[in-house]
A and B are shown apart, each in its own frame.
Chain A
Amino acid sequence: MPFPDIQILSTRHLRGPNVWTYRAAVEVWVDIGALEDHPSNTLPGFNQRLQAWLPGMIEHRCSVGVRGGFFQRLLDGTWAAHIMEHVAIELQTMAGLEVGFGKARETHQRGIYKVVVRARQYDVAHASLLAARDLVMAAINDTPFDVAVTVNRLKAMADRLCLGPSTASIVDAAAQQGIPSIRLTEGNLVQLGHGSRQRRIWTAETDRTSAVAESISRDKDLTKRLLAQCGVPIPEGRIVESPEQAWEVAQDMGLPVVIKPSDGNHGRGVALDLNSQAEIEAAWRVADAEGSQVMVERFVRGEEHRLLVVGDQVVAAARGELACITGDGISSVAQLIEQQLNTDPRRGEEEHFPLDTIRLDEQPHAVLELQRQGLAANSIPALGRRVIVQRNGNMSNDVTDLVHPEVAELATLAARVIGLDIAGIDLVAQDISRPLHEQGAAVVEVNAGPSLLMHLKPASGQARPVGHAIANHLFPLKDNGRIPIVGIVGHRHTAALAQLVAWLLHLSGNRVGMACSLGVFMDQRHVDTQDARGHDMGERLLINRSIDAAVFETSPREILLEGLPYDRCHVGLVADMPALDGLQDLDVITADNMRQVVRTQVDVVLREGVAVLNADVSAVAELEDLCDGEVMMYGLNPDSAILGAHRRQGRRSVFCRQGHVTLARGDQETTLLHIDLAPVARLLKHEDMSVSHLLAAVACAWSLGVTPTLMRAGLKNFRQKTESESQEKARMKA
């Protein structure tokens, strides 16, 4: 009697930091049913089958902490949900998305588990979990399972859905610099940084890549003209009227030359590498027969090179490989390509292969190249004849260290002349380590949005950290592109608290975005009235280019369902422990469960950030050990045990002493104002604003450098102004 399938009860996409991890994850709740009574060591043949299907899991250390740790757990006996987690991780890794994080935890209900794995891409991670369930069931019930098919399916999904390798290299490099990213489309458009500090990239284009420069780079003639004017060598060409003139011009230009029809974007009538008068005059007649004018162009000898210019530097260079076949007198060109070129293990269809598979029907350039040599796909080259198939198909040999400084200078100039901040400069040279003019080398093309792959995965030579170069170009001087973010969690009236914090930040000259239960506010404008504590609404603030600082009110439910809408914050405020009631459906039953949820707000505080904790709630104050950054405490009583201890350590705190709101660092104290002051007293009469809230808001503002003078003015002004404004609006409407 086979075991019934593990039931998947619910699925959630944790898009931001959550109770499990800082990063995006998929959480499923599963019911393993009868398997609760059958750990792995009790299932006959199960461990062997599983290990045979997924031998790579030997690397899973699991809680044992050594290689083979997970297999040890299987032997000792572990439960299906936990196994499913490991299988999901392994499947993702095999599909090319390496992930390390996973967890399986019992709920308060017997047989029901939460299984979580990190999601580099949600759909792939989700599909891996489903496949893991099926694989585990197959191993348990001893039914067949085709691992290879599953992995290929996941791999195809990953190729389709994940960022392309060029974009990914930039995003990863940015992440290493601490720069957050938000993917804006299913394509490769990514925002790096937040709000007004953000930059955008789209593969290797940036938001400073000029559209006009791109049009110039697409106009080959204009590109050549502009480059020549600034002294960048190009293969100069001239229109000629007769064979005699062609020879004359060729001598003038220097041999060898190319002769081609002036509109020659097709290969017909093109002749390369001509040296003699007879060749040139004959080639003129062939080209002239094509109907347009005939052009003599300097033939540039050598190999194609691609130099990647980022900002004002050449950051990588690759030399192209000529793809050649040699005739055997029997096989056709197409067959020779299959035999001699496509068998190269570096060639493949997918993007991560350094070289493309050559398919003549998809590569008109190769067809042209063959035409110039008088061949077509079905021609049979003579025995021993060497035929060039691709001159510029793939650049694959890294030559970055060889580039002569003058060549680098000219490449950089070429990018500047066209107006591109990132450019791929194609140049033909015999030796990239010598100045161009010495060898008659020339720049043949300037490309916007160049592929980075050839530098990331060269067929030979060293890989270059071009993603880092671009990230540095976008965010120089260790800028991490972050705007100040305040995250707030608490029990009651945290929206009012968020409003007060946003108000104080607004007064200090920031355009502040705020998302809370009352909706979305942008620079004090109430733009949306729906509850905005969810991930999507919160992310709106970070996408907005005109936001200098953001304030988020968060609830435990949102953390559990979706995770926080930001990766890290500068200020994490915990005003109170939220009430437990109403979260049973999410398996939050005990105070410790709640602590696990709320701690997320403190976990995400940046090293240079501040956790602002309510000293009057001991469960809150106890979170201080979890904070990477500074901890600031506030409380009604400066001499309470917790606040007193905190102050004695010389740390910052905010409290109310005999009605005076006071900022203190150790025993250095600044009095802000008295709570009986009329406007403040009026403020405190509203049921959503308490003295404790006032202190919390002041602490947040202080954390972000708002001056006491401004805080004083702001507290006196809060809501007074908004009230008069709404009266004004009412009057206008009337």
Chain B
Amino acid sequence: MDISRIRALRGPNLWTRHTAIEAMVLCQGQECDLSTAPDFEQRLRHLFPGLGQLRTTQQGAVLSMAHAIEDATLHMQIAAGCPVTFSRTTLTPEAGMYQVVVEYTEEDVGRLALELAQALCQAAWDNTTYDMDAALAQLSALDEDIRLGPSTNSIVEAALVRGIPYRRLTEGSMVQFGWGSKQRRIQAAETDSSSAIAEAIAQDKDLTKKLLHAAGVPVPQGRPVLDANDAWVASQAIGTPVVVKPRDGNQGKGVTVNISTREEIEAAFHNAAKFRDEVMVERFLPGSDYRLLVVGDKLVAAARREPPLVIGDGQHTVSQLVERVNADPRRGEGHSTSLTKIRFDDVALARLKEQGLNAQSVPAKGLRVILRNNANLSTGGTATDVTDDVHPEVAARAIAAAQMVGLDVCGVDIVCESVLRPLEAQCGGVVEVNAAPGLRMHLQPSYGKGRDVGKAIMSMLYAPGDDGRIPVIAVTGTNGKTTTVRLTAHLLRTHGLRVGMTNTDGVYVQARQIDSGDCSGPRSARNVLMHPHVDAAVLETARGGMLREGLAFDRCSVAVVTNIGMGDHLGLNYITTVEDLAVLKRMIVQNVATSGMAVLNAADPMVAAMASSCPGQVTFFALDPHQPTLTTHRAQGKRVLFVEDDQLVAAEGKFEIRIPLSHIPLTRSGAIGFQIENAMASVAAAWASAIPWATIARGLSTFVSDAMAVPGRFNVFDYKGATLIADYGHNPDAIKALVQAVTNLPANRRSVVISGAGDRRDEDIRQQTRIIGEAFDDVVLFQDACQRGRADGEVLALLRQGLDGARRTSHIEEIRGEFTAIDAAIDRLTPGDLCLILIDQIEEALAHITRRVQENRSALSAH
């Protein structure tokens, strides 16, 4: 077998809403029918018992090697702990070529799984060995490495529950939520409003203490002391019992706790002075360590933390006791379980030594042997949820501490006997505040109830009801996409929104073009959704990107499908029929939000049929008020747009609004049918986005479709009293619509300049001139710069064939070069004529035409 192309579908796609790996798998001979190789499946199962049931989803399909790879890729990910379920294999029209699609949660894990699955299947086929354990270990190590850590993941999960979109910015814990101007960012349990200064303060223990003290939060008061006598003086001022310790010491060296007498304190000073010049005397806080998690102005969780310890039984050695504790199946290695194995290392041994023990000592029954000073879960400590026990006064101090330091997400470490009583009543106090606190101890405490702290953080980032989304309007179809996108964007902009727009000419944010070229793919769309100045996005969504990567958004608020017609670019990427194309373009309709709207052309049966795939509401539009789909929809009281008495009518139930076509310059007072359709689609999209009608009407009246605003879309010029129309139309439907529009415009003689693109089917090229022949007197055929694999003159011949027996055409010219062709047509014009120029190189051709027009104008004024 051979895998020829691998794609990561990073958004909803033709196959699934999930992210997925798509691979082209070529099978040969027996590989195409596994029933001819009966031992293969058995060998495969022997190597990988976790394999699922091999199955086909297409009726009458035969199980192939591709199916085996599909299933192995899926189940290897499952075995590595990834929550994936979707996979599918489809036979293409090419013999032995399959499209295998398998869901992933992490792209790199999905890619590796496919690679490993291929090797596995090959091994089974060749009847050789395969180290399955190593493969799975490699896969889960990669997954563990790149998937989100527990703290970050809890916040992302909370976003998913609320439908807030997210995107990872790094392989680490930096994640962006929301779109455009509603974006927020986190890095683990730090948000974009966590102040850098506050974090610096939290790291400065003395300053933190000073500030907390100022806020009336009890802290262990203390000061540096000069000598043993000063230590005693200080403890008298602070109040005993005290802790004497080296300043900035670590690992508890030289620390003496809970002492009150003069002798003890002086001895402790001398002990501490061995380790550091500066010695601190601090109030001793009796009790246990607690961690209180403050989010915004609320206490959301609290845990009592204990360092890793074992309890003596008078029989076993310390190391045996540790082994027994670690045998607890709840104790794992990483972050995935609620407990982690106790690390029995040098630090633990040193801690034992302080207690007069070693690894081989047998502690007395009931003796608590502490193995580390800190209570981190990752080194074997435990956390017990005490959230419901926290006294309101204790909570108030924790919140005051967080706010004083200025942290929006803050872990407040408290030492006290019990959180059930106010700190002041028990000599408790806050010993530290932590920025970016770990959340695992609250999500999965060793004992007690887990707390949904991710949810609390998410509700601080986004107020209830806010899903972080901006309106996203996706536009697709065979023709009219670009004009619809531009007009829709114009209507939203008229409402004062900052609009991000993608189309085949570039990416625009407000008035600025931030990228150029064909930007109708998901990468450009994602860039718009990332841009902090975007309040609404209007995205031209072309087929190429949908196939290549899937959609850039999980769902949109409005999906507009202008038409499918006879289609375009058929034959590429296994999209061979108009029906296939409709299935592909339907994707944006399928991914409309339940509160969203699909705007569909009722007159195009393929498009109208998409209504049933839409999870939200549907607006139909059609020129003809009597179009049956439209009238039915209207009768049901739903939204429709149509044309009546030279007015664009929008109706929903009893509501009706009319805008005269004469107020919509784009339509040339209603003369250009396809522009009316584009206008209706745009108005429907604006209506669905709750833009007020007065604004919509104003926007329609101010939208100009000239070569500046919408280059290559029905740009009209005057030349010596004749009318020049430049358009980028390049498929039968577009040409049909143009012909229809041109027919509505008065003209003495009609001429056209046309070429054909080499990558279209022969029939499609002939079809273009066949339509032309019915409506134009003069036809100038030209061969464009790029022949896309065709021989010289081949396309011209096809175009000519289409003109055979044309009813209207009386004059045909064949010219090489676009500008020469344009010049030839222009030179023949007399006042009252009309010339349609189907341009190919949009910018260059428009520049050329503009230049010709200006030369003529200045020649006139010179006279």
- Which A residues form the contact surface with B (CB < 8 A)? 184-185, 189, 200-202, 205-216, 219, 222, 226, 229-231, 413, 416-417, 419, 448-449, 520, 522, 525, 527-528, 539-541, 543-546
Contact = CB atoms under 8 A, between A and B. Distances in A.
> Chain A's interface: helix, strand, loop or mixed, by majority?
mixed
Given A185-B207, A200-B197, A416-B533, 5 more contacts: A184-B211, A206-B195, A231-B527, A413-B533, A544-B404
Nearest to B198: A207
Contact of B404 (A216, A539, A546): A546
A215 B512 CA distance: 28
Contact of B406 (A207, A417, A539, A541): A207
Contact of A212 (B186, B200, B207, B403): B186
Contacts of B406: 200, 207, 545
B427 interface: no
B400 A205 contact: no
B194 A210 contact: yes
Contacts of A222: 169-170, 174
B420 interface: no
A185 B204 contact: yes
Q: Which of B204, B214, B509, B514 has the most CB of A within 10 A?
A: B214
Contact of B194 (A212, A416, A527): A212
A448 B207 contact: no
A207 B170 contact: no
B211 A543 contact: yes
B192 A419 contact: yes
A526 to B, nearest CB: 9
B213 interface: yes
Contacts of B571: none
B187 A202 contact: no
Contact of B400 (A200, A230, A231, A546): A546
Contact of B216 (A208, A230, A416, A544): A544
10 contacts: A200-B195, A202-B200, A207-B198, A207-B406, A210-B196, A216-B185, A226-B169, A229-B527, A413-B533, A545-B406
A446 to B, nearest CB: 14
A201 B512 CA distance: 34
Given A211-B199, A212-B194, A419-B192, A546 B215 contact: yes
A212 B211 contact: no
Contacts of B190: 211-212
Contact of A540 (B213, B436, B527, B530): B213
Nearest to B532: A416
Q: Which of B201, B215, B532 has the most CB of A within 10 A?
A: B215
B422 to A, nearest CB: 10
Contacts of A219: 170
B531 interface: yes
B230 interface: no
Contacts of B530: 226, 229-230
Contact of B174 (A200, A212, A544): A212
A219 B187 CA distance: 13
B191 interface: yes
A32 B861 CA distance: 98
B435 interface: yes
B198 A216 contact: no
A544 B210 CA distance: 10
B398 interface: no
Interface string B507-540: 1010011110000000000110011110000000
B196 A205 contact: yes
A212 B204 CA distance: 19
B669 interface: no
Contacts of B532: 230, 413, 416-417
A546 B403 contact: yes
A207 B197 contact: yes
B215 A189 contact: no
Nearest to B204: A185
Nearest to B407: A211
Q: Which 3 A-B pairs have the closest CB atoms?
A: A231-B514, A527-B216, A540-B214
B192 A213 contact: yes
B194 A211 contact: yes
Contacts of A207: 195, 197-198, 406
Interface residues of B, number: 44
Contacts of A211: 187, 190, 194-196, 198-199, 435-436
A215 B207 contact: no
Contacts of A212: 174, 185-187, 190-192, 194
B193 interface: yes
B427 to A, nearest CB: 15
A448 B512 CA distance: 26
Nearest to B421: A732
B215 A215 contact: no
A43 B211 CA distance: 53
A184 to B, nearest CB: 7
A189 B216 contact: no
Given A189-B207, A211-B195, A520-B216, A230 B527 contact: yes
A534 to B, nearest CB: 14
A417 B534 CA distance: 12
Contacts of B526: 229
Contacts of A226: 169, 530
Contacts of B400: 546
B197 A231 contact: no
A202 B509 CA distance: 34
Contacts of A214: 196
A175 B174 CA distance: 39
Contact of A215 (B187, B193, B195): B187
A208 B195 contact: yes
A215 B192 contact: no
Contacts of A189: 197, 200-201, 207
Contact of B509 (A231, A520, A539, A544): A231
A649 B216 CA distance: 45
Given A211-B435, A544-B215, A544-B216, A230 B170 contact: no
Contacts of B174: 212, 215-216, 222
A470 B185 CA distance: 24
Contacts of A201: 197
A419 B530 CA distance: 12
Contacts of A206: 195, 197
Contacts of A216: 169, 174, 185
Best-buried of A184, A208, A231 by chain B (most CB within 10 Å):
A231
Nearest to B406: A207
B197 A545 contact: no
B187 A231 contact: no
Nearest to A542: B214
A243 to B, nearest CB: 27
A89 B507 CA distance: 63
A171 to B, nearest CB: 15
A544 B214 contact: yes
A207 B407 CA distance: 10
Interface string B94-138: 000000000000000000000000000000000000000000000
A525 B216 contact: yes
A94 to B, nearest CB: 33
Contacts of A213: 185, 192, 196
Contacts of B215: 522, 543-546
Contacts of A413: 532-533
A210 B195 contact: yes
A184 B207 contact: yes
A219 B526 CA distance: 21
A226 B530 CA distance: 8
Contacts of B201: 189
Interface string B54-92: 000000000000000000000000000000000000000
B214 to A, nearest CB: 4
Contacts of A528: 216
Q: Of B194, B196, B200, which is in contact with the most chain A CB atoms at under 10 Å from its CB?
A: B196
Interface in B432-487: 435-436
A546 B401 CA distance: 10
Contacts of B213: 540
